């Protein structure tokens, strides 16, 4: 039976079960509520999977800030990124006194267009920060080639990209300087808040590890388990408070063990949308190249000009039917802070502006039932037929 229309179907829900709940209870009973053995275990899992070193943090935002700081980005520098992202990608650049330089997106993938990156490079450029939109990998060969030729650092915003692959390799295992994942409540691996930095260089990882906890040379777990007195530590820099608590890491460990099954469900949902929405006046999200994996964090459609309804009206009608949708994203250059600070207009990045006015993200999460999706599909047909 299809879910009652009177029951609101949320845009996204975390897939949390008894195993995650039990893990939290065990963490509470262990006495380790802050950074401890569970955090260390999750870091080890990510390091083993992606290579390099992994540093657990309390958000992807924190991870990107730490990565850029560790790579030496500072006042007067520029970091090239996309405007078609959540504000965190650009705001961490401002945290460091540097400036984001936006580059428009490819109209098919919504990812940063590598063909435009080289034109944006100046003497001030220090790094490139691509975003794997929706769970589809950017053209990393082109981006890394440009970075190498200009001596630039690369930090991947992989908030959407677990377990995305690029040319058969995990995003997180490529030749970038750092990759940052998000464990926010709506993500493919969800701990509520949290994230992970994966870095190739041990010095970069070490700097992230130190700066995530006040610039202290030892975290609580190491201080209280070492032969050196717990009170004996050093502050080597004015750091931040970005460490991952064990309560969240305990959820992450269970979620990681379920990552394959949760991704399989998301892929199944995406395939059904592709199949049963075919023929409607919409542009479908791009598929991953043959042999690669799309994480399907988002399933974003774009209404075509002949849809007979505006994007905003479509969202309203879906809501009237008790179905939540979202927009990813309102391009940053359309936001007041970014437009006023850098003198931007809607025409500054026309592809991103166009996408912002046509895109709708449909619900896609591993907890969704077949009846839930039937209800969504039927609602879309009734609005667009």
Active site residues: 187
Work out whether strand 165-166 and strand 282-283 pair parallel, antiparallel, or are unpaired. unpaired
Q: Which two tokens stand for residue 178?
A: 């750092």
Which residues lie below 8 Å from residue 292, measured CB to CB, with a gap of 6+?
A: 137, 164, 165, 166, 167, 168
Strand partners, 59: 194
Q: Choose among 234, 193, 252, 216: nearest CA to 63.
A: 193
HSE value, Cβ hemisphere, 13 Å, CA-based, for 307: 22
3 state SS for the chain: CCCCCCCCECCCCCCCCHHHHHHHHHHHHHCCCCCCHHHHHHHHHHHHHHCCEEEEECEHHHHHHHHHHHCCCCCCCEEEECCCCCCHHHHHHHHCCCEEEECCECCCCCCECHHHHHHHCCCCEEEEECECHHHCCCCHHHHHHHHHHHCCEEEEEECCCCCCEECCEECCCCCCCEEEEECECCCCCCCECEEEEEECCHHHHHHHHHHCECCECCCHHHHHHCCCCCCCCCECCCCCECECCHHHHHHHHHHHHCHHHHHHHHHHHHHHHHHHCCCCCEECCCCCCCCCCCCCCCEEEEECHHHCCCHHHHHHHHHHCCECCECCCCCHHHCHHHHHHHCCCHHHCHHHHHHHHHEEEECCCCCCCHHHHHHHHHHHHHHHC
- CB distance 5 to 322 below 8 Å: yes
């Amino acid at each position: 039976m299809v879910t009652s229309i009177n029951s609101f179907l949320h845009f996204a829900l975390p897939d949390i079960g008894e195993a995650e709940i039990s893990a939290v209870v065990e963490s509470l009973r262990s006495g380790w509520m802050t950074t401890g053995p569970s955090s260390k275990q999750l870091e080890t899992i990510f390091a083993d999977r992606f290579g390099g070193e992994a540093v657990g943090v309390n958000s992807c935002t924190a991870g990107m800030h730490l990565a850029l700081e560790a790579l030496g980005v500072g006042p007067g520098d520029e970091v090239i990124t996309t405007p078609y992202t959540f504000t965190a990608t650009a705001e961490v650049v401002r945290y460091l006194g540097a400036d984001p330089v936006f580059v428009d997106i490819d109209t098919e993938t919504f990812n940063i267009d590598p063909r435009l990156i080289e034109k944006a490079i100046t003497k001030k450029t220090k790094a490139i920060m691509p975003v794997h939109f929706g769970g589809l990998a950017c053209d990393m060969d082109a981006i890394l080639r440009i970075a190498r030729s200009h001596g630039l650092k690369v930090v991947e915003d992989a908030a959407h990209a677990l377990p995305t692959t690029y040319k058969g390799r995990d995003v997180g295992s490529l030749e970038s300087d750092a990759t940052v994942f998000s464990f926010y409540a709506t993500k493919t691996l969800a701990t509520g808040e949290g994230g992970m930095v994966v870095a190739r260089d041990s010095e970069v990882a070490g700097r992230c590890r130190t700066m995530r906890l006040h610039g202290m040379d030892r975290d609580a777990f190491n201080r209280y388990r070492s032969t050196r007195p717990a009170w004996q530590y050093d502050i080597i820099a004015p750091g931040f408070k970005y460490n991952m608590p064990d309560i969240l890491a305990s959820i992450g460990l269970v979620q990681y063990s379920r990552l394959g099954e949760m991704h399989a469900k998301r892929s199944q949902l995406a395939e059904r949308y592709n199949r049963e929405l075919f023929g409607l006046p919409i542009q479908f999200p791009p598929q991953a190249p043959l042999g690669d994996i799309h994480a399907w964090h988002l399933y974003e459609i774009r209404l075509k000009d002949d849809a007979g309804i505006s994007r905003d009206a479509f969202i309203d009608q879906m809501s009237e039917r008790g179905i939540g949708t979202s927009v990813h994203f309102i391009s940053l250059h359309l936001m007041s802070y970014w437009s006023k600070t850098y003198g931007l207009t809607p025409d500054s990045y026309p592809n991103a502006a166009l996408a912002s006015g046509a895109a709708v993200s449909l619900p896609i999460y591993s907890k969704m039932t077949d009846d839930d999706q039937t209800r969504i599909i039927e609602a879309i047909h009734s609005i667009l037929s």
